[in-house]
Structure 1
Protein backbone atom coordinates (compact mmCIF):
# COMPACT_ATOMS: atom_id res chain seq x y z
CA UNK A 1 0.00 0.00 0.00
CA UNK A 2 1.31 3.42 -0.98
CA UNK A 3 1.65 5.34 2.30
CA UNK A 4 1.37 8.74 0.61
CA UNK A 5 -1.92 7.87 -1.02
CA UNK A 6 -3.15 6.20 2.16
CA UNK A 7 -2.51 9.35 4.18
CA UNK A 8 -4.42 11.49 1.68
CA UNK A 9 -7.49 9.26 1.87
CA UNK A 10 -7.28 8.62 5.60
CA UNK A 11 -6.68 12.16 6.81
CA UNK A 12 -7.51 14.47 3.91
CA UNK A 13 -10.26 17.06 4.04
CA UNK A 14 -12.49 16.79 1.00
CA UNK A 15 -14.24 14.05 -0.93
CA UNK A 16 -13.77 11.41 -3.63
CA UNK A 17 -15.11 12.15 -7.11
CA UNK A 18 -16.88 9.27 -8.87
CA UNK A 19 -16.22 9.59 -12.61
CA UNK A 20 -16.79 5.91 -13.25
CA UNK A 21 -19.84 5.64 -15.50
CA UNK A 22 -19.43 2.45 -17.54
CA UNK A 23 -21.05 1.10 -20.69
CA UNK A 24 -24.57 0.93 -19.32
CA UNK A 25 -24.64 4.32 -17.60
CA UNK A 26 -22.53 6.35 -20.05
CA UNK A 27 -25.38 7.29 -22.46
CA UNK A 28 -27.36 8.81 -19.59
CA UNK A 29 -24.30 10.69 -18.33
CA UNK A 30 -23.63 12.05 -21.82
CA UNK A 31 -27.26 13.06 -22.29
CA UNK A 32 -27.22 15.03 -19.03
CA UNK A 33 -24.05 16.69 -20.34
CA UNK A 34 -25.92 17.67 -23.51
CA UNK A 35 -24.74 14.95 -25.90
CA UNK A 36 -27.58 12.80 -27.26
CA UNK A 37 -27.20 9.26 -28.53
CA UNK A 38 -27.42 10.38 -32.17
CA UNK A 39 -24.06 12.11 -31.71
CA UNK A 40 -22.19 8.78 -31.77
CA UNK A 41 -22.61 5.56 -33.70
CA UNK A 42 -20.37 3.13 -31.83
CA UNK A 43 -19.24 2.27 -28.32
CA UNK A 44 -15.76 3.50 -29.20
CA UNK A 45 -17.10 6.95 -30.15
CA UNK A 46 -19.24 7.01 -27.01
CA UNK A 47 -16.27 6.31 -24.76
CA UNK A 48 -14.17 8.91 -26.57
CA UNK A 49 -16.86 11.52 -25.88
CA UNK A 50 -17.20 10.62 -22.21
CA UNK A 51 -13.42 10.66 -21.82
CA UNK A 52 -13.39 14.20 -23.21
CA UNK A 53 -16.00 15.13 -20.62
CA UNK A 54 -13.98 13.53 -17.81
CA UNK A 55 -10.76 15.09 -19.05
CA UNK A 56 -12.47 18.50 -19.07
CA UNK A 57 -13.57 17.98 -15.47
CA UNK A 58 -10.21 16.67 -14.24
CA UNK A 59 -8.16 19.40 -15.92
CA UNK A 60 -10.50 22.18 -14.79
CA UNK A 61 -8.78 24.62 -12.37
CA UNK A 62 -11.57 24.13 -9.82
CA UNK A 63 -10.95 20.38 -9.73
CA UNK A 64 -8.31 20.80 -7.06
CA UNK A 65 -6.69 18.49 -4.49
CA UNK A 66 -7.62 20.88 -1.69
CA UNK A 67 -11.16 19.51 -2.04
CA UNK A 68 -10.84 16.37 -4.20
CA UNK A 69 -8.96 13.57 -2.43
CA UNK A 70 -9.36 10.91 -5.07
CA UNK A 71 -11.11 9.89 -8.27
CA UNK A 72 -12.89 6.64 -9.15
CA UNK A 73 -12.58 5.83 -12.84
CA UNK A 74 -13.86 3.29 -15.35
CA UNK A 75 -11.43 0.80 -16.94
CA UNK A 76 -11.53 2.67 -20.26
CA UNK A 77 -10.45 5.86 -18.48
CA UNK A 78 -7.58 4.06 -16.75
CA UNK A 79 -6.32 2.91 -20.15
CA UNK A 80 -6.37 6.43 -21.63
CA UNK A 81 -4.08 9.41 -21.17
CA UNK A 82 -4.52 13.01 -20.09
CA UNK A 83 -1.96 15.35 -21.59
CA UNK A 84 0.08 12.38 -22.75
CA UNK A 85 0.24 10.91 -19.22
CA UNK A 86 -1.67 7.76 -18.16
CA UNK A 87 -4.79 8.89 -16.28
CA UNK A 88 -3.85 7.32 -12.94
CA UNK A 89 -0.39 8.86 -12.99
CA UNK A 90 -1.79 12.23 -14.09
CA UNK A 91 -4.23 12.27 -11.19
CA UNK A 92 -1.56 11.53 -8.59
CA UNK A 93 1.52 13.24 -9.99
CA UNK A 94 -0.13 16.34 -11.51
CA UNK A 95 -3.32 16.83 -9.50
CA UNK A 96 -2.37 15.19 -6.19
CA UNK A 97 -5.46 12.93 -6.23
CA UNK A 98 -5.62 9.23 -5.42
CA UNK A 99 -6.79 7.00 -8.33
CA UNK A 100 -9.31 4.17 -7.92
CA UNK A 101 -10.68 1.73 -10.52
CA UNK A 102 -14.28 0.53 -10.84
CA UNK A 103 -13.97 -3.24 -11.33
CA UNK A 104 -17.52 -4.62 -11.45
CA UNK A 105 -19.21 -5.50 -14.73
CA UNK A 106 -22.69 -4.52 -13.72
CA UNK A 107 -25.47 -6.19 -11.76
CA UNK A 108 -26.99 -9.66 -11.98
CA UNK A 109 -30.74 -10.13 -12.13
CA UNK A 110 -32.62 -9.33 -8.93
CA UNK A 111 -32.92 -12.21 -6.48
CA UNK A 112 -34.41 -11.99 -2.98
CA UNK A 113 -34.76 -8.23 -3.26
CA UNK A 114 -31.15 -7.53 -4.22
CA UNK A 115 -28.71 -7.61 -7.11
CA UNK A 116 -25.26 -9.05 -6.61
CA UNK A 117 -22.51 -8.30 -9.12
CA UNK A 118 -22.17 -10.23 -12.33
CA UNK A 119 -19.33 -12.79 -12.33
CA UNK A 120 -15.79 -11.41 -12.67
CA UNK A 121 -13.84 -14.28 -14.27
CA UNK A 122 -10.92 -12.10 -15.40
CA UNK A 123 -10.58 -10.16 -12.17
CA UNK A 124 -7.00 -11.24 -11.42
CA UNK A 125 -5.83 -9.92 -14.78
CA UNK A 126 -7.68 -6.63 -14.24
CA UNK A 127 -6.24 -6.22 -10.75
CA UNK A 128 -2.73 -6.86 -12.04
CA UNK A 129 -3.26 -4.14 -14.65
CA UNK A 130 -4.65 -1.82 -12.00
CA UNK A 131 -1.45 -2.23 -10.01
CA UNK A 132 0.66 -1.52 -13.11
CA UNK A 133 -1.45 1.58 -13.82
CA UNK A 134 -0.75 2.95 -10.31
CA UNK A 135 -4.25 2.49 -8.89
CA UNK A 136 -4.50 2.70 -5.11
CA UNK A 137 -7.74 0.80 -4.87
CA UNK A 138 -10.90 -0.44 -6.54
CA UNK A 139 -14.66 0.02 -6.33
CA UNK A 140 -17.47 -2.48 -6.80
CA UNK A 141 -21.21 -1.87 -6.58
CA UNK A 142 -24.14 -4.07 -5.61
CA UNK A 143 -27.76 -2.98 -5.17
CA UNK A 144 -30.28 -3.75 -2.44
CA UNK A 145 -34.02 -3.07 -2.49
CA UNK A 146 -35.47 -5.19 0.32
CA UNK A 147 -34.31 -6.87 3.54
CA UNK A 148 -33.76 -10.62 3.59
CA UNK A 149 -31.41 -13.16 2.07
CA UNK A 150 -30.45 -10.81 -0.74
CA UNK A 151 -28.69 -8.48 1.73
CA UNK A 152 -26.66 -11.38 3.09
CA UNK A 153 -25.72 -12.47 -0.45
CA UNK A 154 -24.55 -8.96 -1.36
CA UNK A 155 -22.40 -8.60 1.75
CA UNK A 156 -20.87 -12.07 1.38
CA UNK A 157 -19.95 -11.44 -2.28
CA UNK A 158 -18.55 -7.98 -1.58
CA UNK A 159 -16.17 -9.23 1.09
CA UNK A 160 -15.18 -12.39 -0.79
CA UNK A 161 -14.06 -10.23 -3.71
CA UNK A 162 -12.51 -7.73 -1.30
CA UNK A 163 -10.20 -10.51 -0.11
CA UNK A 164 -9.11 -11.10 -3.71
CA UNK A 165 -8.43 -7.38 -4.16
CA UNK A 166 -6.47 -7.13 -0.91
CA UNK A 167 -4.25 -9.93 -2.17
CA UNK A 168 -2.97 -7.56 -4.87
CA UNK A 169 -2.12 -4.85 -2.36
CA UNK A 170 -5.08 -2.74 -3.45
CA UNK A 171 -7.71 -1.18 -1.18
CA UNK A 172 -11.29 -2.23 -2.00
CA UNK A 173 -14.16 0.22 -1.85
CA UNK A 174 -17.09 -1.94 -0.75
CA UNK A 175 -20.33 -0.47 -2.14
CA UNK A 176 -23.59 -2.23 -1.23
CA UNK A 177 -25.95 0.51 -2.41
CA UNK A 178 -29.40 0.67 -0.83
CA UNK A 179 -32.29 1.79 -3.03
CA UNK A 180 -33.37 5.24 -1.76
CA UNK A 181 -36.91 4.41 -2.93
CA UNK A 182 -37.14 1.13 -1.01
CA UNK A 183 -40.34 0.98 1.06
CA UNK A 184 -38.28 -0.84 3.72
CA UNK A 185 -35.10 1.20 3.53
CA UNK A 186 -34.55 1.46 7.29
CA UNK A 187 -34.92 -2.32 7.67
CA UNK A 188 -32.39 -2.88 4.89
CA UNK A 189 -29.96 -0.46 6.53
CA UNK A 190 -30.30 -2.18 9.89
CA UNK A 191 -29.59 -5.62 8.39
CA UNK A 192 -26.78 -4.26 6.24
CA UNK A 193 -25.07 -2.59 9.19
CA UNK A 194 -25.06 -5.87 11.09
CA UNK A 195 -23.66 -7.78 8.11
CA UNK A 196 -20.93 -5.23 7.50
CA UNK A 197 -19.97 -5.25 11.18
CA UNK A 198 -19.57 -9.02 11.16
CA UNK A 199 -17.38 -9.00 8.05
CA UNK A 200 -15.23 -6.09 9.22
CA UNK A 201 -14.59 -7.73 12.57
CA UNK A 202 -13.25 -10.80 10.75
CA UNK A 203 -10.64 -8.91 8.74
CA UNK A 204 -7.00 -9.22 9.74
CA UNK A 205 -5.13 -6.27 11.20
CA UNK A 206 -3.46 -5.39 7.89
CA UNK A 207 -6.64 -5.77 5.81
CA UNK A 208 -8.12 -2.31 5.37
CA UNK A 209 -11.17 -1.35 3.33
CA UNK A 210 -13.22 1.70 2.41
CA UNK A 211 -17.02 1.61 2.67
CA UNK A 212 -19.28 3.46 0.23
CA UNK A 213 -22.83 3.56 1.56
CA UNK A 214 -26.18 5.11 0.71
CA UNK A 215 -26.96 8.09 2.92
CA UNK A 216 -29.00 6.55 5.76
CA UNK A 217 -32.43 7.60 7.03
CA UNK A 218 -31.08 7.77 10.60
CA UNK A 219 -28.33 10.35 11.09
CA UNK A 220 -24.92 8.95 12.15
CA UNK A 221 -26.24 5.43 11.55
CA UNK A 222 -22.84 4.26 10.27
CA UNK A 223 -20.77 6.21 12.81
CA UNK A 224 -19.29 3.00 14.24
CA UNK A 225 -17.64 2.29 10.87
CA UNK A 226 -16.04 5.74 10.76
CA UNK A 227 -14.21 4.67 13.92
CA UNK A 228 -13.63 1.00 12.98
CA UNK A 229 -9.91 0.03 12.89
CA UNK A 230 -10.31 -1.86 9.57
CA UNK A 231 -12.02 1.04 7.77
CA UNK A 232 -9.91 3.76 6.18
CA UNK A 233 -12.86 6.00 5.31
CA UNK A 234 -16.64 5.87 4.99
CA UNK A 235 -17.95 7.38 1.76
CA UNK A 236 -21.50 8.44 0.95
CA UNK A 237 -23.12 7.90 -2.43
CA UNK A 238 -25.84 10.27 -3.61
CA UNK A 239 -27.98 7.40 -4.91
CA UNK A 240 -30.43 9.52 -6.88
CA UNK A 241 -30.90 12.28 -4.33
CA UNK A 242 -30.50 15.77 -5.74
CA UNK A 243 -27.20 17.42 -4.90
CA UNK A 244 -28.93 19.71 -2.39
CA UNK A 245 -30.66 16.81 -0.63
CA UNK A 246 -27.51 14.64 -0.70
CA UNK A 247 -25.43 17.47 0.78
CA UNK A 248 -27.99 18.13 3.50
CA UNK A 249 -28.09 14.46 4.49
CA UNK A 250 -24.31 14.14 4.32
CA UNK A 251 -23.77 17.12 6.60
CA UNK A 252 -25.82 15.34 9.28
CA UNK A 253 -23.62 12.22 9.18
CA UNK A 254 -20.39 13.02 10.99
CA UNK A 255 -17.22 11.52 9.58
CA UNK A 256 -18.71 10.45 6.25
CA UNK A 257 -17.43 12.15 3.11
CA UNK A 258 -19.00 12.31 -0.32
CA UNK A 259 -18.29 10.10 -3.29
CA UNK A 260 -20.85 11.52 -5.67
CA UNK A 261 -21.23 10.80 -9.39
CA UNK A 262 -24.37 12.30 -10.93
CA UNK A 263 -24.59 14.93 -8.19
CA UNK A 264 -21.03 16.00 -9.00
CA UNK A 265 -21.69 16.58 -12.70
CA UNK A 266 -25.13 18.14 -12.20
CA UNK A 267 -25.38 21.38 -14.19
CA UNK A 268 -22.35 20.78 -16.45
CA UNK A 269 -23.00 20.92 -20.20
CA UNK A 270 -20.93 20.58 -23.34
CA UNK A 271 -22.14 23.97 -24.60
CA UNK A 272 -20.67 25.93 -21.67
CA UNK A 273 -17.45 27.78 -22.37
CA UNK A 274 -14.51 27.03 -20.09
CA UNK A 275 -15.21 29.94 -17.75
CA UNK A 276 -18.87 28.97 -17.35
CA UNK A 277 -18.00 25.29 -16.98
CA UNK A 278 -15.39 25.97 -14.30
CA UNK A 279 -17.72 28.30 -12.39
CA UNK A 280 -20.47 25.67 -12.18
CA UNK A 281 -17.99 22.96 -11.23
CA UNK A 282 -16.35 25.17 -8.60
CA UNK A 283 -19.70 25.87 -6.93
CA UNK A 284 -20.62 22.19 -6.99
CA UNK A 285 -17.29 21.07 -5.55
CA UNK A 286 -17.47 23.73 -2.87
CA UNK A 287 -20.88 22.65 -1.62
CA UNK A 288 -19.98 18.94 -1.62
CA UNK A 289 -16.69 19.59 0.16
CA UNK A 290 -18.44 21.69 2.79
CA UNK A 291 -20.97 18.93 3.47
CA UNK A 292 -18.08 16.46 3.79
CA UNK A 293 -16.38 18.45 6.55
CA UNK A 294 -18.80 17.55 9.35
Structure 2
Protein backbone atom coordinates (compact mmCIF):
# COMPACT_ATOMS: atom_id res chain seq x y z
CA UNK A 1 0.00 0.00 0.00
CA UNK A 2 2.68 2.52 1.01
CA UNK A 3 4.69 1.96 -2.19
CA UNK A 4 1.55 2.68 -4.22
CA UNK A 5 0.87 5.78 -2.15
CA UNK A 6 4.48 6.96 -2.50
CA UNK A 7 4.27 6.53 -6.27
CA UNK A 8 1.08 8.59 -6.33
CA UNK A 9 2.63 11.36 -4.25
CA UNK A 10 5.74 11.50 -6.45
CA UNK A 11 4.14 11.46 -9.88
CA UNK A 12 0.39 12.08 -9.59
CA UNK A 13 -1.42 15.20 -10.77
CA UNK A 14 -3.34 17.15 -8.18
CA UNK A 15 -2.87 18.83 -4.82
CA UNK A 16 -3.07 18.14 -1.08
CA UNK A 17 -6.15 19.25 0.85
CA UNK A 18 -5.29 20.53 4.33
CA UNK A 19 -8.15 19.54 6.67
CA UNK A 20 -6.04 19.80 9.81
CA UNK A 21 -7.38 22.73 11.83
CA UNK A 22 -6.55 21.88 15.44
CA UNK A 23 -8.03 22.97 18.76
CA UNK A 24 -6.92 26.59 18.54
CA UNK A 25 -8.04 27.15 14.94
CA UNK A 26 -11.23 25.05 15.01
CA UNK A 27 -13.56 27.84 16.28
CA UNK A 28 -12.54 30.09 13.39
CA UNK A 29 -12.93 27.25 10.88
CA UNK A 30 -16.44 26.61 12.20
CA UNK A 31 -17.25 30.32 12.16
CA UNK A 32 -16.13 30.59 8.54
CA UNK A 33 -18.42 27.63 7.82
CA UNK A 34 -21.36 29.44 9.45
CA UNK A 35 -21.36 27.90 12.95
CA UNK A 36 -20.95 30.42 15.77
CA UNK A 37 -19.35 29.64 19.14
CA UNK A 38 -22.77 30.09 20.79
CA UNK A 39 -23.97 26.96 18.97
CA UNK A 40 -21.73 24.61 21.00
CA UNK A 41 -20.82 24.52 24.68
CA UNK A 42 -18.11 21.90 25.16
CA UNK A 43 -14.93 20.87 23.39
CA UNK A 44 -16.53 17.55 22.44
CA UNK A 45 -19.45 19.36 20.79
CA UNK A 46 -16.98 21.55 18.90
CA UNK A 47 -15.07 18.53 17.61
CA UNK A 48 -18.31 16.78 16.67
CA UNK A 49 -19.24 19.77 14.51
CA UNK A 50 -15.84 20.03 12.81
CA UNK A 51 -15.95 16.28 12.13
CA UNK A 52 -19.36 16.71 10.50
CA UNK A 53 -17.91 19.45 8.30
CA UNK A 54 -14.86 17.39 7.35
CA UNK A 55 -16.95 14.29 6.71
CA UNK A 56 -19.24 16.31 4.45
CA UNK A 57 -16.19 17.46 2.48
CA UNK A 58 -14.54 14.04 2.23
CA UNK A 59 -17.75 12.18 1.29
CA UNK A 60 -18.70 14.79 -1.34
CA UNK A 61 -18.51 13.56 -4.92
CA UNK A 62 -16.45 16.70 -5.65
CA UNK A 63 -13.67 15.44 -3.35
CA UNK A 64 -11.97 12.78 -5.46
CA UNK A 65 -8.59 11.46 -6.54
CA UNK A 66 -9.17 13.00 -9.96
CA UNK A 67 -7.97 16.30 -8.50
CA UNK A 68 -6.69 15.52 -4.99
CA UNK A 69 -3.54 13.54 -4.18
CA UNK A 70 -3.62 13.65 -0.39
CA UNK A 71 -5.38 15.07 2.65
CA UNK A 72 -3.85 16.25 5.94
CA UNK A 73 -5.88 15.32 9.00
CA UNK A 74 -6.02 16.53 12.59
CA UNK A 75 -5.40 13.89 15.28
CA UNK A 76 -9.05 13.77 16.40
CA UNK A 77 -10.18 13.36 12.78
CA UNK A 78 -7.80 10.40 12.41
CA UNK A 79 -9.42 8.76 15.46
CA UNK A 80 -12.97 9.15 14.11
CA UNK A 81 -14.87 7.24 11.47
CA UNK A 82 -16.72 8.00 8.25
CA UNK A 83 -19.27 5.35 7.21
CA UNK A 84 -17.77 2.86 9.70
CA UNK A 85 -14.22 3.30 8.39
CA UNK A 86 -11.51 5.28 10.15
CA UNK A 87 -10.97 8.51 8.23
CA UNK A 88 -7.60 7.52 6.76
CA UNK A 89 -9.00 4.19 5.55
CA UNK A 90 -12.01 5.92 4.04
CA UNK A 91 -9.74 8.37 2.20
CA UNK A 92 -7.57 5.65 0.70
CA UNK A 93 -10.00 2.76 0.24
CA UNK A 94 -13.03 4.75 -0.95
CA UNK A 95 -11.37 7.76 -2.57
CA UNK A 96 -7.79 6.81 -3.50
CA UNK A 97 -6.52 9.84 -1.55
CA UNK A 98 -3.33 9.53 0.54
CA UNK A 99 -3.79 10.33 4.28
CA UNK A 100 -1.37 12.52 6.25
CA UNK A 101 -1.49 13.56 9.92
CA UNK A 102 -0.64 16.93 11.50
CA UNK A 103 1.57 16.10 14.47
CA UNK A 104 2.84 19.41 15.87
CA UNK A 105 1.53 21.00 19.08
CA UNK A 106 1.65 24.56 17.80
CA UNK A 107 4.29 27.29 17.93
CA UNK A 108 6.67 28.53 20.59
CA UNK A 109 7.20 32.24 21.33
CA UNK A 110 9.07 34.20 18.68
CA UNK A 111 12.86 34.29 19.05
CA UNK A 112 15.56 35.20 16.51
CA UNK A 113 12.83 36.17 14.05
CA UNK A 114 11.19 32.73 14.01
CA UNK A 115 8.76 30.51 15.89
CA UNK A 116 9.96 26.98 16.46
CA UNK A 117 7.54 24.16 17.15
CA UNK A 118 6.59 23.43 20.74
CA UNK A 119 7.95 20.10 22.02
CA UNK A 120 6.03 16.96 21.03
CA UNK A 121 6.55 14.83 24.18
CA UNK A 122 4.27 11.97 23.11
CA UNK A 123 5.54 11.71 19.53
CA UNK A 124 6.32 7.98 19.67
CA UNK A 125 2.88 7.19 21.03
CA UNK A 126 1.21 9.39 18.40
CA UNK A 127 3.17 7.76 15.59
CA UNK A 128 2.18 4.35 16.93
CA UNK A 129 -1.49 5.29 16.73
CA UNK A 130 -0.95 6.78 13.27
CA UNK A 131 0.59 3.52 12.06
CA UNK A 132 -2.38 1.58 13.43
CA UNK A 133 -4.72 3.94 11.55
CA UNK A 134 -2.83 3.51 8.23
CA UNK A 135 -1.49 7.06 7.99
CA UNK A 136 1.05 7.51 5.17
CA UNK A 137 2.84 10.67 6.26
CA UNK A 138 2.96 13.52 8.76
CA UNK A 139 3.06 17.31 8.73
CA UNK A 140 4.56 19.80 11.20
CA UNK A 141 4.66 23.60 10.98
CA UNK A 142 7.03 26.31 12.16
CA UNK A 143 7.13 29.96 11.05
CA UNK A 144 9.84 32.34 9.82
CA UNK A 145 9.06 36.04 10.34
CA UNK A 146 12.42 37.61 9.51
CA UNK A 147 15.55 36.90 7.47
CA UNK A 148 17.56 35.89 10.53
CA UNK A 149 20.23 33.25 9.86
CA UNK A 150 20.32 32.00 13.43
CA UNK A 151 16.56 31.57 13.60
CA UNK A 152 16.25 29.97 10.16
CA UNK A 153 19.06 27.54 10.94
CA UNK A 154 17.22 26.60 14.15
CA UNK A 155 13.95 26.01 12.32
CA UNK A 156 15.50 23.79 9.66
CA UNK A 157 17.54 21.91 12.28
CA UNK A 158 14.39 21.17 14.30
CA UNK A 159 12.35 20.18 11.24
CA UNK A 160 15.01 17.78 9.93
CA UNK A 161 15.69 16.27 13.36
CA UNK A 162 12.01 15.41 13.78
CA UNK A 163 11.77 14.43 10.12
CA UNK A 164 14.49 11.81 10.65
CA UNK A 165 12.56 10.28 13.57
CA UNK A 166 9.40 10.20 11.49
CA UNK A 167 11.17 8.55 8.56
CA UNK A 168 12.67 5.98 10.94
CA UNK A 169 9.12 5.19 12.13
CA UNK A 170 8.07 4.40 8.55
CA UNK A 171 6.29 7.61 7.52
CA UNK A 172 6.96 10.30 4.92
CA UNK A 173 7.21 13.64 6.77
CA UNK A 174 6.09 16.96 5.35
CA UNK A 175 8.46 19.57 6.80
CA UNK A 176 6.73 22.97 6.89
CA UNK A 177 9.05 25.92 7.53
CA UNK A 178 6.51 28.60 6.56
CA UNK A 179 7.78 32.07 5.68
CA UNK A 180 5.26 34.70 6.78
CA UNK A 181 3.87 36.35 3.63
CA UNK A 182 3.91 39.69 5.49
CA UNK A 183 7.62 39.52 6.30
CA UNK A 184 9.42 42.72 5.30
CA UNK A 185 12.34 40.67 3.93
CA UNK A 186 10.51 37.57 2.71
CA UNK A 187 12.67 37.03 -0.37
CA UNK A 188 15.89 37.16 1.65
CA UNK A 189 14.41 34.78 4.23
CA UNK A 190 13.48 32.33 1.46
CA UNK A 191 17.01 32.44 0.04
CA UNK A 192 18.42 31.65 3.50
CA UNK A 193 15.86 28.86 3.92
CA UNK A 194 16.81 27.19 0.64
CA UNK A 195 20.52 27.30 1.56
CA UNK A 196 19.81 25.71 4.95
CA UNK A 197 17.62 22.99 3.45
CA UNK A 198 20.28 22.13 0.85
CA UNK A 199 22.87 21.87 3.64
CA UNK A 200 20.65 19.53 5.66
CA UNK A 201 19.64 17.41 2.66
CA UNK A 202 23.30 16.56 2.08
CA UNK A 203 23.43 14.90 5.49
CA UNK A 204 20.47 12.60 4.85
CA UNK A 205 20.71 9.01 3.71
CA UNK A 206 19.80 8.64 0.02
CA UNK A 207 17.05 6.15 0.88
CA UNK A 208 15.03 8.75 2.80
CA UNK A 209 11.84 10.29 1.46
CA UNK A 210 10.67 13.69 2.69
CA UNK A 211 8.31 16.41 1.50
CA UNK A 212 8.37 20.16 2.02
CA UNK A 213 5.49 22.58 2.52
CA UNK A 214 6.49 26.17 1.87
CA UNK A 215 5.01 29.62 1.32
CA UNK A 216 4.61 30.55 -2.34
CA UNK A 217 7.96 32.27 -2.99
CA UNK A 218 8.51 35.94 -3.77
CA UNK A 219 10.66 34.92 -6.76
CA UNK A 220 9.13 32.25 -8.98
CA UNK A 221 11.19 29.08 -9.14
CA UNK A 222 12.98 29.65 -5.81
CA UNK A 223 12.48 26.00 -4.81
CA UNK A 224 13.09 24.40 -8.22
CA UNK A 225 16.62 23.18 -7.44
CA UNK A 226 15.36 21.41 -4.32
CA UNK A 227 12.84 19.50 -6.40
CA UNK A 228 15.68 17.76 -8.24
CA UNK A 229 17.00 16.17 -5.04
CA UNK A 230 16.06 12.46 -5.10
CA UNK A 231 15.18 12.59 -1.38
CA UNK A 232 12.41 15.14 -2.04
CA UNK A 233 9.12 13.41 -2.89
CA UNK A 234 7.22 16.64 -3.57
CA UNK A 235 7.19 20.30 -2.62
CA UNK A 236 3.78 21.78 -1.87
CA UNK A 237 2.67 25.33 -1.10
CA UNK A 238 0.39 26.76 1.56
CA UNK A 239 -1.92 29.66 0.80
CA UNK A 240 -0.53 31.53 3.82
CA UNK A 241 -3.24 34.19 4.11
CA UNK A 242 -3.68 34.93 0.42
CA UNK A 243 -7.17 34.66 -1.03
CA UNK A 244 -7.70 31.62 -3.23
CA UNK A 245 -7.53 33.78 -6.36
CA UNK A 246 -4.26 35.41 -5.24
CA UNK A 247 -2.74 32.09 -4.20
CA UNK A 248 -3.75 30.41 -7.45
CA UNK A 249 -2.25 33.17 -9.57
CA UNK A 250 1.04 33.07 -7.64
CA UNK A 251 1.12 29.28 -7.77
CA UNK A 252 0.77 29.32 -11.56
CA UNK A 253 4.08 31.20 -11.73
CA UNK A 254 5.76 28.19 -10.05
CA UNK A 255 4.88 25.29 -12.37
CA UNK A 256 6.67 22.61 -10.33
CA UNK A 257 4.92 23.60 -7.10
CA UNK A 258 1.53 22.13 -6.12
CA UNK A 259 -0.98 23.44 -3.61
CA UNK A 260 -1.68 22.31 -0.07
CA UNK A 261 -4.42 24.78 0.81
CA UNK A 262 -6.75 24.88 3.80
CA UNK A 263 -8.68 28.13 4.22
CA UNK A 264 -8.40 28.93 0.50
CA UNK A 265 -9.95 25.53 -0.30
CA UNK A 266 -12.85 25.82 2.14
CA UNK A 267 -13.65 29.54 1.95
CA UNK A 268 -16.85 29.19 -0.13
CA UNK A 269 -18.45 26.43 1.95
CA UNK A 270 -21.36 26.95 4.34
CA UNK A 271 -23.33 24.75 6.69
CA UNK A 272 -26.49 26.37 5.28
CA UNK A 273 -25.85 25.17 1.70
CA UNK A 274 -27.90 22.33 0.26
CA UNK A 275 -25.84 19.30 -0.68
CA UNK A 276 -26.03 20.32 -4.32
CA UNK A 277 -24.85 23.86 -3.52
CA UNK A 278 -22.13 22.52 -1.25
CA UNK A 279 -20.83 20.07 -3.87
CA UNK A 280 -20.84 22.77 -6.56
CA UNK A 281 -18.94 25.27 -4.38
CA UNK A 282 -16.39 22.65 -3.32
CA UNK A 283 -15.88 21.44 -6.88
CA UNK A 284 -15.32 24.99 -8.11
CA UNK A 285 -12.62 25.55 -5.45
CA UNK A 286 -11.01 22.19 -6.17
CA UNK A 287 -10.84 22.73 -9.93
CA UNK A 288 -9.36 26.22 -9.54
CA UNK A 289 -6.65 24.94 -7.19
CA UNK A 290 -6.03 21.83 -9.32
CA UNK A 291 -5.51 23.90 -12.46
CA UNK A 292 -3.11 26.22 -10.61
CA UNK A 293 -1.18 23.12 -9.47
CA UNK A 294 -0.69 21.62 -12.95
After superposing on structure 2, the runs of 4+ consecutive aligned residues of structure 1 that deviate more than 4 Å are none
Query: How far apart in 1 are the matches of 2:242 and 2:227?
Result: 22
Corresponding position: 1:31 with 2:31: yes
Query: How far apart in 2 are the matches of 1:161 and 1:48?
Result: 30
- Structure 1 runs not aligned, ≥5 long: none
Query: How far apart in 2 are the matches of 1:182 and 1:199?
Result: 24
User: Match for residue 7 of structure 1?
Assistant: 7
Q: Give deviations 1:137-162, integer Å, cap 9, x for gaps.
A: 00000011001111111111000000
Instruction: Count how many residue pairs are aligned between Structure 1 and Structure 2.
Output: 293
Cα distance, 1:64 vs structure 2: 0.8
1:1-294 map, 5 Å: 2-148=2-148, 149-293=150-294
Contact 1:223 1:254 in 2 (8 A): no
Contact 1:33 1:270 in 2 (8 A): yes
Q: Give deviations 1:165-194, integer Å, cap 9, x for gaps.
A: 011110000000110001111111011011
DSSP-derived class of the 1:46 partner: helix
DSSP-derived class of the 2:101 partner: strand
Query: How far apart in 1 are the matches of 2:116 and 2:11?
Result: 31
Q: Give deviations 1:90-126, integer Å, cap 9, x for gaps.
A: 1000010000000000001111111000001110110
Question: What TM-score results when the alignment is normalised by the length of structure 2?
Answer: 0.98
Query: How far apart in 2 are the matches of 1:109 and 1:48?
Result: 30
Cα distance, 1:228 vs structure 2: 1.3
What is the root-mean-square deviation in Å for CA atoms of aligned residues?
0.8
DSSP-derived class of the 2:106 partner: coil
Cα distance, 1:35 vs structure 2: 0.6
Cα distance, 1:203 vs structure 2: 1.0
DSSP-derived class of the 1:211 partner: strand
Query: How far apart in 2 are the matches of 1:199 and 1:228?
Result: 12
Query: How far apart in 1 are the matches of 2:242 and 2:231?
Result: 29
Cα distance, 1:45 vs structure 2: 0.8
Question: What TM-score results when the alignment is normalised by the length of structure 1?
Answer: 0.98
Q: Give deviations 1:52-81, integer Å, cap 9, x for gaps.
A: 000000000010101011100000000000
Cα distance, 1:197 vs structure 2: 0.9
DSSP-derived class of the 2:221 partner: coil
DSSP-derived class of the 1:108 partner: coil
- Structure 2 runs not aligned, ≥5 long: none
